[in-house]
A and B are shown apart, each in its own frame.
Chain A
Amino acid sequence: MIQVLRGVSLEVPDGQIISLLGANGAGKSTTLKAVSGLLKAEAGEVTDGEIIFKKERIDQQLAHRIAARGIIQVLEGRRVFQHLTVEENLRVGYLGSGGELMIQKGLEDVYKLFPKLAQMKQRTSGFLSGGEQQMMVIGRALLSDPKLMLLDEPSLGLAPLLIQAIFKIIQQINIEKKTAMLLVEQNALAALEIASYCYVMETGRIVMDGPAEKLKENEDIKEFYLGLSKVGTRKSYKEIKHYKRRKRWLS
Chain B
Amino acid sequence: MLTLQFLTTGILTGGIYALIAVSIVLVYKATRIFNFAVGELLALGGYFCYSLVVWAHFPLWLAIIGAMLMAVIVGALVERLVLRPLLSQPTLTIVMATLALSSLLSGLMLMIWSGYVVTFPRNLLPGKTLIIGDVVMSNELVWAFGIAMVAFAILAYFFNKTKTGLRMRAVSEDHELSMSCGINITLIFAVTWILAVVLGSLSGFLLGNRLGLTPAITPLIALRAFPAVLFGGLESLVGAVVGGLTIGILESLVGGLIDPKYGEITPYIILLLVLIFRPEGLFGLKRIERI
Contact = CB atoms under 8 A, between A and B. Distances in A.
B176 to A, nearest CB: 6
Given A41-B88, A82-B288, A127-B288, A64 B169 contact: no
B125 interface: no
A124 B288 CA distance: 10
A37 B184 CA distance: 12
A83 interface: yes
Interface stretch (A8-16, A88-96, A206-214): A88-96
B180 A72 contact: yes
A194 to B, nearest CB: 22
Contacts of A134: none
A84 B169 contact: yes
Contacts of A94: 163
Interface string B161-196: 001001101100111111111111100000000000
A75 B176 contact: yes
Interface in B135-181: 163, 166-167, 169-170, 173-181
A155 interface: no
Nearest to A66: B182
Contacts of B166: 84, 88, 91-92
B2 interface: no
A64 to B, nearest CB: 4
Contacts of B173: 81-84
A165 interface: no
A113 interface: no
Looking at A43, A64, A75, A127, which has the most chain B CB atoms within 10 Å of its CB?
A64
Interface in B178-220: 178-185
A147 to B, nearest CB: 13
A41 B176 contact: yes
Contacts of B185: 64
B84 to A, nearest CB: 13
Main secondary structure, interface of B, reads: helix
Given A41-B88, A81-B174, A127-B288, A92 B167 contact: yes
A43 B181 contact: no
A6 interface: no
Interface string A40-82: 0101000000000000000000111001100011110001111
Interface residues of A, number: 33
Contacts of A84: 166, 169-170, 173
Looking at B88, B170, B178, B182, which has the most chain A CB atoms within 10 Å of its CB?
B182
Given A84-B170, A88-B166, A144 B180 contact: no
A101 B4 CA distance: 51
Contacts of A88: 166, 169
Contacts of B288: 82-83, 124, 126-127
A156 interface: no
B54 to A, nearest CB: 43
Contacts of A83: 169, 173, 285, 288
Given A43-B88, A81-B169, A83-B285, A64 B174 contact: no
A38 B179 CA distance: 7
A128 to B, nearest CB: 8
Interface in A13-39: 36-38
A63 B184 CA distance: 8
B290 interface: yes
A38 B178 CA distance: 10
A140 interface: yes
B184 A64 contact: yes
Given A83-B285, A126-B288, A64 B170 contact: no
Looking at A38, A63, A67, A92, which has the most chain B CB atoms within 10 Å of its CB?
A92
Contact of A67 (B88, B175, B182): B182
Contact of B180 (A36, A43, A91): A36
8 contacts: A74-B180, A75-B180, A84-B170, A92-B167, A95-B181, A95-B182, A124-B288, A140-B181
Given A93-B181, A126-B290, A140-B181, 13 more contacts: A41-B88, A63-B179, A80-B177, A81-B169, A81-B173, A81-B177, A82-B288, A83-B169, A83-B285, A91-B163, A92-B170, A95-B181, A124-B288
Interface of B: 88, 163, 166-167, 169-170, 173-185, 285, 288, 290
Interface of A: 36-38, 41, 43, 62-64, 67-68, 72-75, 79-84, 88, 91-95, 124, 126-127, 130, 140-141, 144
